[in-house]
Amino acid sequence: MSAADETPELDAVQRQALAWVIRLNSGEATSDDAAALAMWRKRGPEYEETFREAVRQWHTFGDATRELLGRTDAAPTRPVRSRVVVSRRFVIGGSMAAAAAVGGVYVAAQPPLGLWPSIEELAADYRTGKGERRTIALAQNMAVKLNTQTALSVRSAASAPRVELVSGEAAVDVKSQAAAVAVDAGGGRIETLEANFNVRCIDHKVSLVCFSGALQVDWKGQRAALTTSQQLTYSEEGGLTPVSPADPEQATAWQRGLLLVRDWPVERLVAEINRYRPGRIVIMDDRLGRRMISGTFYLDHLDDVVAQVRGLFGASARTLPGGILLLS
C-alpha cells in the first residue's frame, strides 16, 4: 500500500507544504525559492505547522511523498532569476577550484558551503540567522539563549519538558523542576532538574559545559554526570569523552558578544567566523590554515579578524559574489 493510500485527501496548504519540501530536496532550489518559502511560512501558524509536518512526512516516506500529490513535478514554479550561484566545483578542504556568477544558490538537505539552512533547521520551532542571538522562555522555569545559526525544536509532552538542539549552540538555564528537563542533541540526551549549562552541536559533534547544578548525559547507552565547571564532548568519531575541567569564560564568551581565541589554527578560527559572518570565508592554502593565532575579537566586527590574518601572515584576500572571500 502506498503512502497516498493511507493518507486523507490533502487540503491546499498541505499540498503546498509538501511541494516546498520536494522542491528543497530536488537539488535545484534557489535563493529565491528560500525567500519565497520564508514568506509563505509567515502567512500564519497553520502554514508553519503544516510545513513542519510535511518535513516529518518526507523523513518517513522520502520520495514516496510525491505520491501524496499525485504527480512527480509538484514543486512550486521555479523563479526565473535569483541572486548568486555557487559553482558545484567548489571543493572545501585546503584547496578549491571555484567560480561564481549570477544564478541561483542551491538549497538542499546539505546546502553547499553551508550558505543556507538544512531542511531540518528550516523545520525547527525556533531558529536564528547568522549573527543573530535570541532568548526564549520555553517553560515557567526554563529559558534558552540561542547563539548564531541555531535551530531548536520543542518535543515536550505534558509532564516531560523536552527540546532538541538540531544544530548550533544554546545556553540553557533550568530552575528547580519537579520533572527532569531533557535536551536532545547529536543523538544524545542531557537531563537535569536544575542547572545552567551550554550545549553546542556543530557537524554532529556535541560539546557540553556545566556552569552550575548537575547534568546527566546519555549517549548510545553510555552515561556520564557533570557538575559545576565540568565539560565533555561526544560524537561518532570521538565517542563519549571523560569528564574534564571546563573554562566557563571561554564557553560564555559568545553571550558577551566576544570570540576568545587561544592558540587556534587559522582554519578553526575561520570555521567559527563563518558561523557569524554573512557569506563564507574559504582558506585556499593549507599552510595558512595550520598557522596558530590568539586574540579576543568582537562578534559584530569579525572583518577585523580577516584584516589581522592578512597582516600577521601576509595572506591575500579575493572577494567573490555572494559574500565568498578566498584567503591564500
Looking at the chain, the whole-number percentage of residues with pLDDT higher than 90 is: 41
Q: To which H or E segment does residue 188 belong?
A: strand 188-192
270-311 pLDDT per residue, tens: 999 999 988 889 999 999 999 999 999 999 988 888 888 888
DSSP code at position 106:
-
Inter-axis angle of helices 31-41 and 45-61, nearest 10? 120
Beta bridge partners of 197: 172, 210
pLDDT of residue 108: 41
Predicted confidence (pLDDT) per residue in 231-264, tens digit: 999 999 989 999 999 999 999 999 999 999 999 9
Residue-level pLDDT at 116: 55
109, pLDDT greater than 70: no
What the block records as the C-alpha cell of 291 is 598557522
Percent of the chain with pLDDT over 70: 76
Q: State the pTM of this model.
A: 0.70
Q: Are residues 74 and 46 in the same domain?
A: yes
Positive or negative CA dihedral for 227, 276, 143, 189?
A: negative
CB 216 within 8 Å of CB 190:
yes
Could you tell me if 132 and 34 are in contact, meaning their C-beta atoms sit under 8 angstroms apart?
no
Q: Which residue has the higher pLDDT, 224 or 115?
A: 224
- Contacts of residue 312, defined as CB under 8 A and 6 or more positions apart, other chains included, come to 291, 293
- Pick the last residue of a domain from 252, 283, 312: 252
Same domain, 113 and 206: no
| 185-195 pLDDT tens trace | 999 999 999 99
92 and 34, same structural domain? yes
Task: Report which of residues 48 and 150 the model is more confident about.
Answer: 150
- Choosing from 122, 143, 174, the residue where a domain stops is 122
Number of domains in the chain: 3
CA distance linking residue 211 with residue 228, whole number of Å: 5
CATH of the domain at 192: 2.60.120.1440
Q: What type of residue sits at position 207?
A: S
Instruction: Determine the residue type at 83.
Output: R
Asked if residues 61 and 70 have their Cβ atoms less than 8 Å apart, the reply is no
Please state, in angstroms and rounded to a whole number, the distance separating the CA atoms of residues 302 and 299.
6
Q: How far is CA 237 from CA 203, 231, 279, in A?
A: 11, 18, 28
Residue numbers of the domain that contains 56: 4-122
Give the residue-averaged pLDDT of 36-63. Answer: 79
